[in-house]
Amino acid sequence: MRIQERIIEGLLWLSAAITILVTAGIIWVLLSESLTFFSEVSIIDFLTDKQWTPLFADKHFGILPLVAGTMLTTAIAIAVALPIGLTIAIYLNTYAPAGFRATIKPMLEILASIPTVVYGFFALTVVTPFLQSFIPNLAGFNSLSAGMVMGIMIIPMISSLSEDAISAVPKSLREGAYGMGATKFQTAFGVLVPAASSGILVSIILAISRAVGETMLVAIAAGQQPRLTANPLVPIETITTYIVQVSLGDVPHGSLEYRTIFAAGITLFIFTFALNNISFWIRKKYQEKYD
């Protein structure tokens, strides 16, 4: 009996330890490879150079074009997902009959279960041609279409987490507003959304973090041309796409070109790590305390 307990305890400990070890391993590889990279390329060039051409003869190692590409697709995605997601959350919470809410919420989550490669495909072969019919100078690969489809992809994240946050606002506040003669609309926007703002903010940050790290969709639909631009109509390249491009390409292992993906990877990691920590911090610090 006692032996069995110990074995089980050991196994549980092992699985926890493996998770931590793997994470530590990943961070170690990222760090050590990037350190080698930064011993050859100055970190100042990396952060300030406006060109990213490590695979060309005239090599430049400025991460800004990739960061700009990532931020552009992310911004477009959030611009699509936030208004729609929040509207859905408020509609489901305040207006929809209970039975309708119970069916529609799981259906929305189906959106989240579609493989991202399908979304990429959809952006490239459906949304881009559609947009081209009224934006003639839209390139075949562009951040607009990729960003919009990514926005649709992350709607469930925002709507679901925001709805949870709004539902968690005590009934007494909602009744307080109704009791003052507030309409549903006034109650939702004047009382419920502000009271749930920390939860809604967390849902947005997690959605941003998801958009920043999204790979397949942008690799397929946004292009592979690192470009420092805010123009959504032209091909760009995101950090993630670059990593895919080099990983799949014929760049020799151990070369400087190869190590660029670790530098790009650690940049990405810093972004998502920071976002996740900010959301964690907000949740802890700003959650309204009701008893």
Partner 1 sequence: MSKKNQKLEARNLNAYYGSFHALKDINIAMEEKAVTAFIGPSGCGKSTFLRTLNRMNDYIDGFRVEGDILLDGRDIYTKDVRVDELRKQVGMVFQKPNPFPKTVFENVVYGLKIQGIKDKKTLNEIAETSLRKTALWEEVKDKLDKSALALSGGQQQRLCIARALAISPSVILMDEPTSALDPISTAKIEELLYELKEDYTIVIVTHNMQQAGRVSDQTAFFYMGELIEFAKTKTMFTSPKHERTQNYITGRFG
Could you write out the DSSP letters of every residue in 2-62?
Answer: HHHHHHHHHHHHHHHHHHHHHHHHHHHHHHHHHHHHHHHS-HHHHHH-S-B-TTSSS--B-
Question: Is the dihedral angle over the CA atoms 254, 256, 261, 264 positive or is it negative?
Answer: positive
Restricting to residues 91-110, name those near partner 1 by CB under 8 A.
97-98
Restricting to residues 131-170, name those near partner 1 by CB under 8 A.
170
Q: What is the size of the binding site for partner 1 (CB under 8 A)?
A: 20
Tell me which stretch binds partner 1 (CB under 8 A): 58-66, 127-135, 186-194, 251-259. 186-194
On whether the CB atoms of residues 232 and 143 are closer than 8 A, the answer is yes
Binding test (CB under 8 A) with partner 1, winner from 25, 83, 176, 254: 176
For partner 1, which is the closer residue by CB, 179 or 252?
Answer: 179
Tell me which stretch binds partner 1 (CB under 8 A): 79-87, 110-118, 172-180, 204-212. 172-180
How crowded is the C-beta side of 243, counted as CA atoms within 13 Å? 20
Q: What is the C-alpha separation between 180 and 173, in angstroms, rounded?
A: 11
On whether the CB atoms of residues 75 and 147 are closer than 8 A, the answer is yes
> How many CB atoms lie under 10 A from the CB of residue 157?
22
For partner 1, which is the closer residue by CB, 17 or 180?
Answer: 180
Nearest-approach distance from CB 189 to partner 1, in angstroms: 10
Site mask for partner 1 (CB under 8 A), range 189-228, x = bound: -xx--xx---------------------------------
For partner 1, which is the closer residue by CB, 182 or 234?
Answer: 182
For partner 1, which is the closer residue by CB, 48 or 172?
Answer: 172
For partner 1, which is the closer residue by CB, 201 or 216?
Answer: 201
On whether the CB atoms of residues 148 and 76 are closer than 8 A, the answer is yes
Q: How far is CA 35 from the centre of its chain?
A: 26
Chain contacts with partner 1 (rule: CB under 8 A): 97-98, 170, 172-173, 175-183, 186, 190-191, 194-195, 288
